[in-house]
Structure 1
Amino acid sequence: MTKTMEFKGRCLCGEVAFEGEAPDEPISTCHCKQCRQWGSGPFDAYSLPLKNLQFTAGEDAVKYYESSDFARRGFCSKCGSNLFWHADRHPQWKDRISIAVGALEQPTGLSAGNHIFCAAKADYYEIEDGRPQYAHED
């Protein structure tokens, strides 16, 4: 039986709020250029089945930026908080969504997993925490 966890989250201003229950899986830290430009550093994300995400407020306040030919990034249209990465046009990942871990209420109960897109990391930091590193995606 897969262990699950409950989560709640919101944007900075509280306009957008969400919750759900999903498999308890480690987060990924993405070092790609788009993630760094989007949030001024690596993007820590909790990936889960899209069907496990329910909005409790402000779903209409979420706006999406089409950041590639297969994915979009969701943010609050009121405060600008980065909230989601969704590969909605990718056959393998379209049914999953990644939530910005910083938007989740504490304690999350999550653990840190892999670093991905390490080949694209910025030159101003090193990855020295001993977690698995992948040049691209895991």
Structure 2
Amino acid sequence: MGEKLELSGRCLCGAVSFDATASRPRVSVCHCDMCRRWSAGPFMSLNCEAVTFENQDNIGRIRSSDWAERGFCTKCGSNLFYHLVDSGDHQMAAGLFDDQSKLRMSLQVFTDRKPDFYDFANETRKMTAAEVIALYAPALE
């Protein structure tokens, strides 16, 4: 399962569609406060490169931090992606993909921020907020 996976997907209403390449078919789950407010639950995503969007004029963007933006369909409101602005990669919402049969959950982040009312049975790597920030946050100048 180490080879790249070509995928396509779309928002709920179909106003935005896309093709993307995933280097691995692994779904990450974020339990941070921002993702839960944005998604009304944990944000499940797949790291994709070479994403090409159809009907980009239907994509709204909101800058959620100094280093990232979130994209959504302006017609139906579907969450589309989380994107580090200095990167070409997008964390595409896992539920958008047409074929989800090869996707597997492998990572959960901000696990110390997860509310007590839900849990996943999947065995995954788990990282706290401090671990994620230490590994991925841009260095402050």
> What is the TM-score when the length of structure 1 is the normalising length?
0.86
Q: Does residue 1:77 correspond to 2:74, yes or no?
A: yes
SS of residue in 2 equivalent to 1:26: strand
Aligned partners of 1:20 and 1:53 also within 8 Å: yes
**Any idea what SS the aligned residue of 2:125 has?**
coil
Q: Which runs of 5+ in 2 are unaligned?
A: 136-141
Match of 1:120 among 105, 108, 113: 113
- Distance in 1, matches of 2:34 and 2:16, equals 23
Contact kept in structure 2, 1:35 and 1:43, CA below 8 Å:
yes
Instruction: Pick the structure with more strand per residue.
Output: 2
Q: Which amino acid aligns with 1:69?
A: D
Counterpart for residue 37 of structure 1: 37
Aligned-partner Cα distance in 2 for 1:19–1:61 = 16
User: d(CA) in 2 for partners of 1:29 and 1:45?
Assistant: 6
Match of 1:13 in 2: 13
Partner of residue 61, structure 2? 64
State the one-letter code of the partner of 1:3.
Answer: E
- State percent identity of aligned pairs: 35
Deviation at 1:69, TM superposition (A): 1.4
How do residues 48-63 of structure 1 correspond to structure 2 at under 5 angstroms? 48-49=48-49, 52-55=50-53, 57-63=54-60
1:104 aligns with 2:97: yes
Moved more, 111-120 or 22-31: 22-31
Corresponding residue SS for 2:34: helix
RMSD of the alignment, in Å?
Answer: 1.6
Give unmatched runs, 5+ long, in structure 1: none
Q: SS of the counterpart of 1:133? A: strand
2:128 alignment partner, one of 120, 130, 135:
135
Q: Distance in 2 between matches of 1:75 and 1:58?
A: 12
Q: How many residues align?
A: 130
- Matched AA of 2:52: Q
